[in-house]
Chains A and B, each alone.
Chain A
Amino acid sequence: MNSVGEGCTELKREYDQCFNRWFAEKFLKGDRSADPCSELFHKYHTCVQKAIKEKDIPIEGVEFMGPNREKADS
């Protein structure tokens, strides 16, 4: 599966692999240890954030707002 940001797909796959493993082997089995994927997520997240801003995708309610995104007040 690809990322919306064409250049982010590889980073996404690495993060997904880490997450899916933790999700199946730890989280669903009741293991409360935190996932080891934070660094991978951070790299991937930075990439996606940029792609979303570039494509002007109107994400709601996620701390995604960059300095040049302003919500119109009605």
Chain B
Amino acid sequence: HDFHPWETVTKAAMQKYPNPMNPSVFGVDVLDRNVDQRGRLHSKRLLSTEWGLPSIVRSIIGNTRTCTYIQEHSVVDPKEKTFELQSTNITFTNMVSVDERLVYRPHPEDPEKTMLTQEAIISVKGVSLSSYLEGLMASTISSNAGKGREAMEWVIRRLNTEIEELAITARGTLRTPMAAAAVTEK
């Protein structure tokens, strides 16, 4: 896989959805945004996710019960080069609570690379997790971390393609006035 500097990863992470590795996210909305006294950008966002149940099941149990909403608070510090995200589910909180924290920063040994630290705290209400369940969640979370990197690669490639397409369009437009000038000079 490729390595990318922090700015590239941060731009991509801000535009992470949609991507094929996260098909359950169907909506992303910015609730609030501001720059604080230290020049850091705070964003509060709402992620709307859908479990991906077959439509027949959804029509029986109703749409409101198949959507999970996640609230995310992120902070970008352009001086320190950190992008920190915290998210928690705000529905089904009576059953389970998934708190995730991600921090992207330049790799301490190579500024062309970005380091991500990620942690998730999962609490299931009224149930003590046996070590089997904890192990299962740990392996799911670490395989999801791989999926997260795939998702970022996909977004970065998409953004690069858009930049190339813009450059091609710009070159195409420049050619036209010169061709017109060549014709009139005859």
Interface residues of A (CB under 8 A from B): 1-5, 8, 12, 15-16, 19-20, 23-24, 27-30, 32, 34, 41, 44-45, 48, 52, 55, 57-64
Contact = CB atoms under 8 A, between A and B. Distances in A.
Nearest first, the 8 closest Cβ-Cβ pairs linking A and B are A4-B27, A4-B48, A62-B31, A48-B29, A1-B28, A1-B17, A2-B27, A1-B18
A52 B46 contact: yes
A62 B64 contact: no
Interface string B8-23: 0011001101100000
Given A1-B17, A20-B11, A57-B46, 19 more contacts: A1-B18, A2-B26, A2-B27, A4-B48, A12-B29, A12-B30, A23-B14, A24-B11, A27-B78, A28-B76, A29-B78, A30-B78, A52-B46, A57-B69, A57-B91, A58-B69, A59-B71, A62-B44, A64-B31
A39 to B, nearest CB: 14
